[in-house]
Structures are given as structure tokens and as C-alpha cells.
Amino acid sequence: MKHMTEEELIAYREGVAEQRAVISEHLAACQECREELQRIEAVLAALDTLPLPDPGAEYGRQVWKEIAPRLAEKPGHWWQAWLEPRRLAAAGAFVALVVGAFLAGRISKKGDVGDNVASKEQVRERILVVAVGEHLGHSERMLVELSNAAPSGPKQKEVNISAEQRRAEDLLQENRLYRQTALQDGDAGLASVLDELERVLLDVAHSPDEVTPAQLEAIQKKIEARGILFKVRVVNKELQQRQEAREPAPPQKDSTNRERNKV
């Protein structure tokens, strides 16, 4: 008796077999193929036990709350999405970064032809380092404020965190751009921390405007447990050091030139 191939049995199990009736008939008569099918099914059954998180009954509303401010008045034109203020601001910052890098590259080229000057790439990276440093600084300040937020008295039932929430929403857009740029530049360490920061920013942005002291404490514990403030500080420090290391040396050359001109 010719047995079924693994491919035929998998196709049968996944409901995509062409000769389903023929395979069924064969399985009824062949114990070896039935056992082989059972082994395939055991693996698939194990995979079915993988947990799937429940996003919660309010998830649809949360998604709407998150995307509604980013929708254009009328659907249908992709470019309209780029006209919404937050995307414009983030895109503007990015364009300024690229233009800045380009101009800085040109200026440094004109000024020091033939000398050991920073390449265009280095200048571009320096500007990126400054922009990301600023972004991390803003994120750190927002997270510190949120970590230190507390109800004004024991009777206060809710704490308003809408200001931090809005800042988190704005920082999210910038964060995505910087994370993608870091990835493109092959800076996996920076991309990894930006990725973790993005998760925290998402959490904050998803929180309600007003939270109970217990909810606030839960958010603060989450921030603390992820150690994101520490990570942001370490990376920011690293970026500062990188920036300092790449700062051009003090203008010794100018004085030498001047000396030379005197002679």
C-alpha cells in the first residue's frame, strides 16, 4: 500500500487538500498514516495552547481614541493624513534635521577643503544625535513628572494626567521617526531603547485623562519596573559623550594660520 506523503497529510489537516475524499479513504484503512497524522495534530494542538492576550472590552474604543485625532476630515486621499498637525510637526522636525545635515555638510566642505574635517555622514549623525538627545530629554522630563505626580490630598479621588498624556502622544510620533532612522543607520542599541520608550509612551497615551490614585500608582510602577528612566538616561549620556567625542578640536589651526600669515 502506498502511504500518504507528509505534504498530503498536512494539506488534509489544514483543509487545503485537493483529493480530500481519497485521503480520508486511505486514512480509514491505514493505521501508519493515521498515526503520522496524529503526530502532526499533536504539534498543532500544542501550538493552539499558546496564550493570546485579551486586549479588553474597551479595546475598540481605545483604538478609535488613538486614531481619531489622526484622521483627515474626509477619507480617500493618502496625502491628507500628512496634513494633520502632529504628523506635520514630526515630519517638519525630520525635514529640518535632513536639511540641517545637508547645509552643515556643505558649510564644513567649503570651509576646510583638504583638511581632516568631519564627513557629511558624521555631520548628519551629529545632528541626529542632538535631535534624539533633545527628544530623550523631553521624554525623560515627562516621565519624571508623571512618576512624581500625586493626589493633592487624601480626599482627591482623581488625578488629571491629560497634559502628560498629550505630551506622550506628541513624543510617540517623533519617537517612531527616530527609531526608524536609528534602525536604518544600524544603531541597534539606540533603536532598542527607543522601542522600549515607545511602549511606555503608548501606555501613557492610552491612559484615561483622569486616573484614580491607584491607577496612577500602577502607571508609576510600570514605568519603574521597566527601568525606562534609567535606560533613557544611560542612552542620553552615551549620546552626549558621542557628541563630545566628535566635537571639532579647539581652533588651533586658525592660530597657526594666523602665525603663518604674520610671517
Partner 1 sequence: MNRMQQSVDSTQAIAESDTIAVERTLAGDRDAYRVLVERHSHNVFRLAYRMTGNRHDAEEVVQEAFLRGYQKLGQFAARSNFGTWVYRIAANYAIDRMRQRQKEEARREVRRVDEEDGMENDPLSRVRDEAPTPERLTQSIELRKQMEQALAALSEAERTAFVMRHWEGCGIEEIAAVLKSSSNATKNTVFRAVQKLRLALQPFVETRAQARAMGTES
List residues binding partner 1 (CB under 8 A): 6-7, 10-11, 13-16, 39-40, 42-44, 46-48, 50, 52-53, 55, 59-61, 63-64, 66-68, 70-78, 80-81, 180, 183, 186, 188-189, 191-193, 195, 198-199, 202, 227, 230-231, 234-235, 238
Q: Minimum Å distance from CB 151 to partner 1? A: 29
Whole-number minimum distance, CB 245 to partner 1, in Å?
Answer: 16
Cα first-last separation, the chain:
102
Instruction: State which residue, 85 or 251, has the beta carbon closest to partner 1.
Output: 85
Toward partner 1, which CB reaches closer, 50 or 249?
A: 50
> Under DSSP, is residue 246 helix (H, G, I), strand (E, B) or coil?
helix
Task: Show the cell assigned to 185.
Answer: 543607520
List of residues 6+ apart from 118 with CB closer than 8 A: 108, 126, 246, 248
Shorter beta-carbon distance to partner 1: residue 58 or 145: 58
Query: Which is closer to partner 1, CB of 158 or CB of 195?
Result: 195
Nearer to partner 1, 15 or 153 (CB): 15
For residue 43 the three cell numbers come to: 504539534
Contact (CB, 8 A) for 91 and 101: no
Q: 55 or 248, CB closer to partner 1?
A: 55
Computed from CA positions of residues 181, 185, 186, 188, in that sequence, does the dihedral angle turn out positive or negative? negative
We find the least distance from the C-beta atom of residue 106 to partner 1, in angstroms, to be 30
Torsion sign over Cα 141, 142, 148, 152: positive
CB of 41 vs partner 1, minimal distance in Å? 10
Q: Are 175 and 139 in contact (CB under 8 A)?
A: yes
Run of H or E residues at 38: helix 31-48
**CB of 73 within 8 A of CB of 92?**
no
State the minimum distance, in angstroms, from the CB of residue 107 to partner 1.
32
Write down the least CB distance from residue 163 to partner 1, Å. Answer: 22
In angstroms, what is the minimal distance from the CB of 249 to partner 1? Answer: 26
> For the chain, percent helix, then strand, then coil, each to nearest 5?
75, 0, 25
Q: Encode 86-101 in three state secondary structure.
A: HHHHHHHHHHHHHHHH
Nearer CB in complex with partner 1: 66/170: 66
Q: Cα 132–138–142 angle (5° rounding)?
A: 140
